[in-house]
Amino acid sequence: MSVEDEIELMGQRLNEKIKKIFGRSLHIREVDAGSCNACEVEVNALSNPIYDIERFGIHIVASPRHADMLLVTGPVTRNMELALLKTYNATPSPKLVAAMGSCACNGGIFGETYASGGGVDKFIPVDVYIPGCPPRPQAVIFGIMVALDKLPQKIGKTGVKP
């Protein structure tokens, strides 16, 4: 199967999920908490004409206040810790957090040092982990789907309707 067909197939499933849960679209805010910028290359690739995730109802937004989900990359550096917390707090509930890339999952090659805090889940609650260095765009789409399945439970807990 070519990449295009693969994406088309995944995208349809994704679109159905988004329609069921959100009615129309899922808004994502990407936060770089200290990555090496490889994950950003792949997140940007999601918007190119080959993947074009916007057609499946995913929109990458400019502010956390508009977002349903945070996509966090990088081992949380000492200097980005506060900015990440502020971004998380600015995102309205119920919210999803996906940790993208090995560093965001557990600190990766940078681990825990004087400058790097390790995985994202040490600082904010994480719903789904997307491993890879960097994960391929297909993996990111799959990760988003897994995260979406978790949302109904979350809504049940908080009682807030999207």
Partner 1 sequence: MNREFTEALKKEFGNNILDEVTSRNETYLTVKKEANVKICDHIYHHLDISLVSIFATDERKKDGFFKVHYVFSLDKGDAFVIIKINIDEKTPRYNSITHKIAAANWYEREIQDMFGLIPQGHPDPRRLIHFEDMPAGVYPLRKDFNIRTKPQRVKGEYVYRRVEGEGVYEIPVGPVHAGVIEPGHFRFSVAGEPIINLEIRHFYTHKGVEKLFENISLDKAVFLAERVSGDNSVAHAVAFCQAVEKIAGIDIPPRAKYTRTILLELERVYNHVGDIAGIATDVAFGMGAAHANRLKEEILQLNEKVTGSRLLRGMNAIGGVRRDIGDKKDGILLELSEIQRDFRELMEYLMSIPSLMDRIETTGRIYNDTAKGLHVVGPVARASGIDRDTRRDHPYAAYPEFNFKVQLQKGGDVYARTVVRADEVCESIGIIEQALWSFPDGEIKAMVGEIPDGYAFGYTEAPRGETLYWVNTSNNKIERCKVRDPSFCNWLAIEYAVLDNIVPDFPIINKSLSLSYSGNDM
List residues near partner 1 by CB under 8 A: 3, 30-45, 47-51, 60, 62-64, 74-75, 77-80, 83, 86-87, 108-116, 133-134, 136
- Nearer to partner 1 (CB atom), residue 23 or residue 114: 114
Instruction: Write down the least CB distance from residue 154 to partner 1, Å.
Output: 23
- Nearer to partner 1 (CB atom), residue 19 or residue 55: 55
Instruction: Write down the least CB distance from residue 127 to partner 1, Å.
Output: 20
- Nearer to partner 1 (CB atom), residue 133 or residue 146: 133
- Nearer to partner 1 (CB atom), residue 114 or residue 159: 114
- Nearer to partner 1 (CB atom), residue 73 or residue 127: 73
Instruction: Write down the least CB distance from residue 95 to partner 1, Å.
Output: 15
Instruction: Write down the least CB distance from residue 148 to partner 1, Å.
Output: 20
* Tokens 């805090």 -> residue: 117
Supply angle C-alpha 32, 108, 72, rounded to 5: 25
Can you say how many angstroms the Cα of residue 123 is from the centroid of all Cα atoms in its chain? 15
* Helix, coil or strand: residue 26: strand
How far from 156 is each of 25, 98, 127, 132, 150, CA to CA, in Å? Answer: 20, 19, 15, 31, 10
Q: Are 98 and 119 in contact (CB under 8 A)?
A: no
The single-letter code of the amino acid at 1 is M
Instruction: Write down the least CB distance from residue 153 to partner 1, Å.
Output: 28
Residue 62: exposure state from Cβ atoms within 10 A (0-12, 13-18, ≥19): exposed
